[in-house]
Structure 1
Amino acid sequence: MVSHKRTERIGAILIPLVAVGLLAGCAPGAGTSASANKAKTGSVVTDPTKMGKVTLNVLDTFSGGTDNAWMTSVVSAFERKYPNITIKRTPMAWGDAMAALPLKLKSANPPDIVPPNNGWQSLGTLVRGGLVLNLDNYAKAYGWKQSFPQSILSEHEFATDGKQIGTGSMFGTPVARASVIEVYYNRALLQRIGAQAPRTLAEFDSDLAKAKSAGITPISLGNVEQAGLTTPLYSLMNALGSQSKISDFTYSHGGVRIAQAGFPQAVSTLKQWSDKGYLTKDYAGVAGADAAQSFVNGQGLFHFDYSGSLPLKAGQSKGFGSFILPRADGGKPVATASSAANFSISAKSKHPDAAAAFLNFAAGEQAAELAVQNGTMPLLHPEVKAPAGDPLFADDVAIAQQISADSTSVPYLDWSTPTLLNTIDTAMQNMLAGKSTPNAVVTAADHDDAAFVKTLAR
Structure 2
Amino acid sequence: MVSRSRTRRIASVLAPLATAGLLAGCVAGTSGSGAANTAKPGAVTTDPAQMGQVTLHVLDYFSGGTDDAWMKSVVKAFEKKYPDITVERTSMPWGDAMAALPLKLKSASPPDIVPANYGWQSLGTLVRGGMVLNLDNYAQAYGWKKSFPQWIVNEHEFTTDGKHMGTGSMFGAPVARASLIEVYYNRALLKKTGVEVPRNYDEFQAALGKAEAAGITPVTLGNADKVGITAPLFSLMNAFGPQSKISDFVYSHGNVKIGETGFPQAVSTLKQWSDKGYLGKDYAGTDTADAAQAFVKGQGLFHFNYSGSLPLKPGQSKDFGSFVLPRTDGGKPVATASSATNFSIASKTRHPDAAAAFLDFAASQEAAELAVHNGTMPLLHPDVKAPEGDPLFSDDVAIAQQISADGTAVPYLDWATPTLLDTINTNMQNMLAGKSTPKSVVSAADENAAAFMKTLAR
Same fold (TM over 0.5): yes
Distance 1:258 1:27, change over 3 A: farther
Distance 1:179 1:74 in 2: 18
AA aligned opposite 1:10: A
Residue in 1 aligned with 2:13?
A: 12
Distance 2:354 2:401 in 1: 29
AA aligned opposite 1:6: R
Distance 1:150 1:5 in 2: 23
Between the two proteins, what is the percent identity of the paired residues? 73
Residue in 1 aligned with 2:221?
A: 221
Residue in 1 aligned with 2:379?
A: 379
Q: Quote the offset at 1:423 in angstroms.
A: 0.7
SS in 1 for 2:11: helix
Distance 2:267 2:21 in 1: 36
Q: Quote the offset at 1:150 in angstroms.
A: 1.1
AA aligned opposite 2:94: W
Residue in 2 aligned with 1:200?
A: 200
Task: Count matched residues.
Answer: 453
Residue in 1 aligned with 2:312?
A: 312
Alignment of 1:265 with 2:253, yes or no, is no
Distance 1:27 1:273, change over 3 A: farther
Aligned residues: CA RMSD:
1.5
Contact kept? 1:13, 1:418, Cα under 8 Å: no
Q: Which digits, 9 at most, give the CA deviation of each residue in 1:401-432, with x for residues without a partner?
A: 11222221111111111111111111111111
Residue in 2 aligned with 1:342?
A: 342
SS in 1 for 2:130: coil
AA aligned opposite 1:254: G
Q: Quote the offset at 1:10 in angstroms.
A: 3.2
Q: Which digits, 9 at most, give the CA deviation of each residue in 1:73-126, with x for residues without a partner?
A: 000000000101110111111111111111111111111100010011100000
Residue in 2 aligned with 1:389?
A: 389
Uncovered stretches (5+) of structure 1, i.e. residues with no partner: none
Q: Quote the offset at 1:32 in angstroms.
A: 2.5
SS in 2 for 1:55: strand
Q: Quote the offset at 1:5 in angstroms.
A: 4.5
The 5 Å alignment of 1:291-330 reads: 291-330=291-330
Q: Quote the offset at 1:22 in angstroms.
A: 6.8
The 5 Å alignment of 1:253-292 reads: 253-292=253-292
Alignment of 1:402 with 2:402, yes or no, is yes
Distance 2:71 2:250 in 1: 29
SS in 1 for 2:56: strand
Distance 2:383 2:441 in 1: 41
Distance 1:19 1:11 in 2: 10
Taking structure 2 as the reference length, what is the TM-score of the superposition?
Answer: 0.96
Distance 1:417 1:27, change over 3 A: farther
Q: Quote the offset at 1:433 in angstroms.
A: 1.3
Distance 1:405 1:178, change over 3 A: same
Residue in 2 aligned with 1:3?
A: 5
Q: Quote the offset at 1:11 in angstroms.
A: 5.6
Taking structure 1 as the reference length, what is the TM-score of the superposition?
Answer: 0.96
Distance 2:17 2:393 in 1: 37
SS in 2 for 1:190: helix
Residue in 2 aligned with 1:117?
A: 117
SS in 1 for 2:180: strand
Q: Quote the offset at 1:288 in angstroms.
A: 1.0
Residue in 2 aligned with 1:361?
A: 361
SS in 2 for 1:89: strand
Uncovered stretches (5+) of structure 2, i.e. residues with no partner: none
